[in-house]
Homo-oligomer: A and B are copies of this chain.
Amino acid sequence: MANSKYEYVKREFEFHRHLPASNWIVVRIDGCHFHRFSELHAFEKPNDDRALRLMNACATSMLEKFPDIVIAYGVSDEYSFVFREKTEFYKRRESKNISLCVSYFTIVYGMKWKDFFPNNDLKEPPYFDGRVVCYPNINTIRDYLAWRQVDCHINNQYNTCFWALVKSGKTEKEAHQALKVI
């Protein structure tokens, strides 16, 4: 607005990238240092029902807030949001897509925390990273979701075994050793 001699810093250095049209847009959000965060807040292992329901509640808020999201899929402390192929969400500007999604998800996580952990105050701020990826057709977006689903299954299988061993008396190191792929 201020039309000063300094405005060149925007014009000459600040570039916007637009995501190409006719591509499904995935914004994937992932908890940052959630290993530590989950210990600090005494999450149950291998799966904390309250934590998973909180993630799902945040995802539900996302779908209500951003109607161009057509499907969402979550695993552990990550969630993928798929925007429909033709979305014009913030003119498909990449940094807007990443930042608004991760910001909204994060604040809802904070605001809903006490609904799921009523006796458990936040000891440090939970926060997330985000990235955006474009998929050009229905097959590749289907395979994206299959990829996350396989990853969920493998990790969950491993974690279930790992924590069963730990609960049965093994140390974490021994449990890792026992489950190592030979």
Determine how close the nearest CB of chain B comes to the CB of A115; give it in whole angstroms: 14
Please give the residue numbers on chain A whose beta carbons come within 8 Å of chain B beta carbons, in ascending order: 1-2, 4, 6-10, 12-15, 17-18, 20-23, 29, 32, 61, 95-96, 98-100, 102-104, 106-111, 122, 125-137, 140, 143-144, 146-147, 150-151, 153-155
**A102 surroundings in chain B (CB, below 8 A):** 99, 102-103
| Copies of this chain in its oligomeric complex | 4
* Bound Cα distance from A102 to B140, whole angstroms: 29
Q: Is A18 a contact partner of B15 (Cβ separation < 8 A)?
A: yes
The answer to whether residues A99 and B100 also contact, given A4-B147, A107-B106 and a CB cut-off of 8 A, is no
Nearest residue (CB) in B for A10 is B147
Q: Is A131 a contact partner of B100 (Cβ separation < 8 A)?
A: no
* Bound Cα distance from A18 to B106, whole angstroms: 24
26 contacts between A and B (CB under 8 A): A2-B150, A4-B150, A6-B143, A6-B150, A9-B135, A9-B140, A12-B21, A13-B140, A15-B18, A20-B20, A21-B136, A22-B137, A61-B125, A96-B129, A98-B98, A98-B99, A99-B102, A99-B129, A100-B127, A102-B102, A103-B128, A106-B107, A107-B125, A107-B126, A110-B110, A111-B122
